[in-house]
Amino acid sequence: MESLAGAEFAPTTTYLNSASSGLLPARATTALKETLDTAAGGGNWVDAAFAAVEECRATYARIVDVPARRVAVGGSVAVYVGLIAAALPPGAEVLVADNDFSSLVNPFVTRRDLTVRTVPLERLAEAVRPHTALVAVSAVQSADGRLADLDAIAAAARAHGARTLVDASQSAGWLPLRAAAYDYTVAVGFKWLLAPRGGVAYLTVPEDLGGLHPLFAGWIAGERPADSCYGPIAELAHSARRFDESPALLTYVAAQHSLALIEKLGPESIGAHDTALADRFRAGLAAHGHTPVPAPGSAIVAVPGLGHAAARLAERDVYVSERDGNLRAAFHLYNTAADVDRLLEELAALPGSA
Residue 147 and residue 137 in one domain: yes
Chain CA centroid to CA 99, Å:
17
DSSP 3-state of 199: coil
pLDDT on residue 352:
64
Residue 327 and residue 203 in one domain: no
Angle at 175 between CA 160 and CA 330, to 5 degrees: 120
Residue 257 within any structural domain of the chain? yes
> Which of 323, 82, 333 has the alpha carbon at shortest distance from 186?
82
Residue 1 within any structural domain of the chain? no
Residue 10 and residue 110 in one domain: no
Residue 49 and residue 162 in one domain: yes
Residue 37 within any structural domain of the chain? yes
Residue 147 and residue 21 in one domain: no
Residue 203 and residue 282 in one domain: no
Q: pTM value?
A: 0.96
Secondary structure of 236-273 as H, E, C letters: ECCCHHHHCCCCCHHHHHHHHHHHHHHHHHCHHHHHHH
> Which of 199, 187, 192 has the alpha carbon at shortest distance from 252?
199
Residue 212 and residue 288 in one domain: no
Residue 125 gets which letter from DSSP?
G
Residue 257 and residue 276 in one domain: no
Domain limit, last residue, from 265, 296, 314: 265
Distance CA 32, CA 248 (A): 12
Residue 354 within any structural domain of the chain? no
How many domains in the chain? Answer: 2
pLDDT on residue 1:
53
Domain limit, last residue, from 216, 231, 265: 265
pLDDT on residue 354:
52
pLDDT on residue 136:
98
Residue 279 and residue 231 in one domain: no
Residue 77 within any structural domain of the chain? yes
pLDDT on residue 142:
97
Distance CA 108, CA 233 (A): 28
Bridging pattern class, strands 132-138 and 163-167: parallel
Domain limit, last residue, from 265, 295, 318: 265
Residue 284 and residue 300 in one domain: yes
Q: What ranges in the chain are assigned the alpha helix state H?
A: 26-40, 46-64, 77-86, 102-109, 150-159, 249-265, 267-287, 309-314, 337-349
Q: The domain that contains 313 carries what CATH number? A: 3.90.1150.10
Q: Which residues of 57-73 are buried (b: 16+ CB within 10 A; e: fewer)?
A: bbbbbebbebebbbbbb
Binned average pLDDT, 10 residues per bin, the chain of 354 residues: 79 97 97 97 97 98 98 97 98 98 98 97 98 98 98 98 98 98 98 95 98 96 95 96 97 98 97 98 95 97 95 97 95 97 95 63
Quote the domain boundaries for residue 298: 6-25+266-349
Residue 19 and residue 81 in one domain: no
Burial (CB count <10 Å: 0-12, 13-18, 19+), residue 229: exposed
> Which of 79, 49, 31 has the alpha carbon at shortest distance from 261?
31
Bridging pattern class, strands 71-74 and 93-97: unpaired
Residue 39 within any structural domain of the chain? yes
Residue 258 and residue 330 in one domain: no
